[in-house]
Structure 1
Amino acid sequence: MTDSRPLSVALVGAGPAGIYAADILSKSGLEVSIDLFERLPAPFGLVRYGVAPDHPRIKQIVVALYKILQRGDIRLVGNVEVGKDVSLDELQKHYDAVILSTGSDRDAPLDLPGVDLDGCYGGADFVSWYDGHPDVPRTWPLDAEQVAVIGAGNVALDVARMLTKHVEDLMPTEIPENVAEGLRSNRVTDVHLFGRRGPAQAKFTPLELRELGQVPDVDVLVYDEDFQFDEGSEEAIRASNQTKQVVKTLIDWTLKDKDELTASRRIHLHFLHRPAEIVGDGRVEALRTERTELTGDGNARGTGEFVDTPVQAVYRAVGYFSSPIPGVPFDEIRGVIPNIEGRVLGEDGEWMSGLYATGWVKRGPVGLIGSTKSDARQTIGHLVEDAEAGRLQARADRADEIGHDAMLAALEANGVRYTTWQGWELLDAFEQQLGSEFNGGTTRERIKVVDRDTMTAISRGEEHAGRLY
């Protein structure tokens, strides 16, 4: 940074991590110019494309993020993918500092025999489909009657709920038309969710779990033989009110009169089952699990007893994983960018000057909004320290090659159809208008546009064919 211009910073990824980092930087006391790059035409990351559509209260996070970007001091540059439309080298030429906040966008790997069988799906891929992500297929195979979900967290609950919920009950939400069309042909009757440890070790949040029992025409079943509490479990219950609520809800379900379970679809919650193999000849036929027992500290070990549950599809919901960015070191084991408190490390273990990371790509897919904010404060704290020490400088030779205008000129020269915050407001209004015009007798806040070309054209004020998906 020179005395004659503000510090020029690019953030890559317009989800919560990137937006919060930009907001904190804008209030840091530095004179700073901030551009927020996003590979999709729409901002908000997993809040838009990773939260089930029937969770509008969680999507209220969008309201807070919207207010930050609406101020205008953080400029959104959408539909620009780093490594494709612009390289990291180009960003470092035009900006004094680059912050990577690309999040976790794919399923964590699961080393399990049979995982490559036809009918085995990633939970994150399914979420992307029903949330209308523009870069995934428009159809989803929903021909299985019995389904297994591997995982004991909120994503696993979302997958189970979306597989069993009747499409009519989803119509007030923002689900895209192709998703509603696909769910109408869903043949599922039973979803079996498997966790390898006990009820006190499940990672569900109490509200998400309770909501599972409120889905119309869906019964939730839990089994006495799957309940075990050791000293570690008792300590977890004493230490966490959330854990106590989760366990209480699960116990209450074991007390249900089985004669009252008359719904057409069922969700079975199985604990103390470790997935051992996905069984099938060419396609999924069953999930084989090993019964486990708790070891006293909340961990579990196998018992040698195996159970085969007949299913025709398996969904892996064992966590998210980040994707590498061309030109940036990447830890393939942990799924993160190597860093020390947000300063990105090169292959030599030294800080790559001017390069930072924040959010899940920095620390892994753990923690919610509070963690994301504190994470951003740590990274921005180091950036401010480096700026004040004179360690940040764009690589361009001339001042007119640095910053927002120079970057947009380079994108335009390369034919990149980038979008802006004003463009998002156009798309936002278009989707809300689609919802208000819906003639199915249900009030809808919006209907998502899925087709990327249509999203981009609407955002840029261009003519479009009206293709929604």
Structure 2
Amino acid sequence: MTFAISGDCCSDASCVAVCPMNSIHPSPGEPGFGTGASLFIDPRTCIDCGACADICPVDAAKPADSSAAEDVQRNAEYFAERQPLQAMDLDSWEPPTYQVWGGGPRRVLVVGAGPAGMYATRELLLRTTAEVTVVDRSQHLGGLVRCGVAPDHPQTKQIIENFERLVRHRRVHWRPGTDAATLRSGPGGLPDGYDAVVHAVGARQSRRLGITGEDAACSAEDFVAWYNGRPGASLPVELVGPQAVVVGNGNVALDLARLLLSDEEQLRAMDLQRDVRRVLSASGVKKVVLLGRRGPDEAAYTESALRELLAVAGDRVELRYHARPTAWTSAGLTLGTGETIAAGNLFTAIGFEGRPIDGLPFDAGRGIVPNVRGAVVGRPGHYVAGWIKRGARGGIGVNKACAQETVMTLVSSSRGVASPGS
């Protein structure tokens, strides 16, 4: 499923900034921007991430299957005679005109090869002459795109192909299976041989409910890692039907419910390992109660995610709000009212938080490294991007604008600005 923009478009270009695939045109500076009735989404490169819909101030960006047929046709016709632009092609468009790092090659270390790290790498290549080394503890590119996107959203994972193209750039050195903590320290608290570090390590640790018996529940961190086949991941609980409770009102919570309620035919169409498909198919879960601790107006899921869940199992999902869980036992989930919801499994999906990074300050309450526009407070030469910078909110596209801000801060710092005429 792709997205389309309707004639209600306000052309403020906020969607252009967050589109991870450079699929929305005409963008600022291109012929036709600000003169036409609408922006358009290229259906050939759209990966169904929904970043445009999340940020659109007038609700003009919608899934193609819920858009008017004439809007879908208008979007396709705009690109009919145009070649698709690659999101990671550094020659596809002119970079913004802010000052670049000069004075010869320098070395920047990017820690983390998920969307935030890869967009930071791209920005560094566009704005500087630096050699960029990208490290990740995993052997693979992609971060949560590879290990966090639901297996029935394969189109979204196509962005990994662009990441692979990026690390083949002549100024990029890709070092998979490398823990940044093992790198030797040099002067000024930076790894030896590097002038700056961009930490883009994400925030994959599940937040806790803080209730009795929670250790016997299954967190979103564990469940998502298991069904996406992350190396070393396993399912910490046995799936028991006929009813499960998922605490959380974000898209991850809806992903969990949708996977649990998918039938064997639907599971076969997903990108799942055989053992995962077998366990889900045999779980016996026939109904899921989605429990929100706040009201429906404060729910974090997107309209398209809710529509997708209800299309799979609308009559087997119960949405409950303003509920306060207090304990999880073999009888089910007890609420503050004294009611117990009978269930074989409890899944918690109330968000993620970052972990401390050795040598850097950490705000445990917010789960982030304290920073000013990406520059780590009190640690010159250290920068952050993505969830470890702003908290675990926003999807793939938001990381694009986030990384750009961080790199702009880096290149304008006292360490990075080229003197006039240099």
TM-score, reference length from structure 2: 0.69
Question: Is 1:24 the equivalent of 2:56?
Answer: no
Match of 1:185 in 2: 282
Deviation at 1:58, TM superposition (A): 2.4
Deviation at 1:72, TM superposition (A): 4.4
The residue type paired with residue 148 of structure 2 is G
Change in CA separation of 1:138 and 1:370 when aligned onto 2, cut-off 3 Å: closer
Question: Is 1:342 the equivalent of 2:374?
Answer: yes
**Is the CA contact 2:190–2:381 (under 8 Å) kept in the aligned structure 1?**
no
Change in CA separation of 1:361 and 1:169 when aligned onto 2, cut-off 3 Å: same
Question: Is 1:55 the equivalent of 2:55?
Answer: no
Deviation at 1:106, TM superposition (A): 1.4
The residue type paired with residue 314 of structure 1 is L
Supply the distance in 2 between the matched residues of 1:88 and 1:199 (Cα, whole angstroms).
49
Supply the distance in 1 between the matched residues of 2:348 and 2:284 (Cα, whole angstroms).
19
- CA RMSD in angstroms comes to 2.4
Deviation at 1:389, TM superposition (A): 4.3
Match of 2:110 in 1: 11
Alignment of structure 1 residues 201-220 onto 2, 5 Å: 201-215=298-312, 218=313, 220=314
Deviation at 1:121, TM superposition (A): 1.2
**Is the CA contact 1:82–1:326 (under 8 Å) kept in the aligned structure 2?**
no
Deviation at 1:61, TM superposition (A): 3.1
Change in CA separation of 1:39 and 1:167 when aligned onto 2, cut-off 3 Å: farther
Match of 2:81 in 1: none
Supply the distance in 2 between the matched residues of 1:172 and 1:21 (Cα, whole angstroms).
34
2:195 to 85, 89, 96: 96
Alignment of structure 1 residues 398-417 onto 2, 5 Å: none
Question: Is 1:384 the equivalent of 2:416?
Answer: no
**Is the CA contact 1:82–1:325 (under 8 Å) kept in the aligned structure 2?**
no
Match of 1:122 in 2: 219
Deviation at 1:325, TM superposition (A): 2.3
Supply the distance in 2 between the matched residues of 1:57 and 1:390 (Cα, whole angstroms).
41
Deviation at 1:316, TM superposition (A): 0.7
Per-residue Cα deviation, 1:123-142 (whole angstroms, up to 9, x for no partner):
12100110011132267521
Instruction: Report the secondary structure of 1:208's partner residue.
Output: helix
Match of 1:326 in 2: 358
Instruction: Report the secondary structure of 2:412's partner residue.
Output: helix
Match of 1:312 in 2: 344
Deviation at 1:166, TM superposition (A): 2.2
Change in CA separation of 1:98 and 1:309 when aligned onto 2, cut-off 3 Å: same
Per-residue Cα deviation, 1:431-456 (whole angstroms, up to 9, x for no partner):
xxxxxxxxxxxxxxxxxxxxxxxxxx
**Is the CA contact 1:139–1:182 (under 8 Å) kept in the aligned structure 2?**
no
**Is the CA contact 2:132–2:173 (under 8 Å) kept in the aligned structure 1?**
yes
Gaps of 5+ in 2: 1-100
Match of 2:382 in 1: 355
Match of 1:371 in 2: 398
The residue type paired with residue 399 of structure 2 is T
Per-residue Cα deviation, 1:269-300 (whole angstroms, up to 9, x for no partner):
2123x2231242xxx4221234xxxxxxxxxx
Question: Is 1:152 the equivalent of 2:254?
Answer: no
Q: Which has the higher contact order (CA 8 A, sep 6+)?
A: 1
The residue type paired with residue 161 of structure 1 is R
Question: Is 1:271 the equivalent of 2:321?
Answer: yes
The residue type paired with residue 388 of structure 1 is G
Supply the distance in 2 between the matched residues of 1:388 and 1:139 (Cα, whole angstroms).
47
Supply the distance in 2 between the matched residues of 1:144 and 1:82 (Cα, whole angstroms).
42
Deviation at 1:360, TM superposition (A): 0.4
Question: Is 1:75 the equivalent of 2:124?
Answer: no
Supply the distance in 1 between the matched residues of 2:138 and 2:272 (Cα, whole angstroms).
18
Match of 1:244 in 2: none
Identity %, equivalent residues: 34
Change in CA separation of 1:276 and 1:213 when aligned onto 2, cut-off 3 Å: closer
Match of 2:38 in 1: none
Supply the distance in 2 between the matched residues of 1:42 and 1:127 (Cα, whole angstroms).
17
| Structure with more helix by fraction | 1
Question: Is 1:174 the equivalent of 2:271?
Answer: yes
Instruction: Report the secondary structure of 2:409's partner residue.
Output: helix
**Is the CA contact 2:107–2:130 (under 8 Å) kept in the aligned structure 1?**
yes
Instruction: Report the secondary structure of 2:124's partner residue.
Output: helix
Question: Is 1:198 the equivalent of 2:295?
Answer: yes
The residue type paired with residue 163 of structure 2 is L
Size of the aligned set, in residue pairs, is: 316
Gaps of 5+ in 1: 222-265, 291-304, 392-469
Supply the distance in 1 between the matched residues of 2:235 and 2:256 (Cα, whole angstroms).
17
Supply the distance in 1 between the matched residues of 2:335 and 2:185 (Cα, whole angstroms).
45
Supply the distance in 2 between the matched residues of 1:181 and 1:316 (Cα, whole angstroms).
22
**Is the CA contact 1:10–1:99 (under 8 Å) kept in the aligned structure 2?**
yes
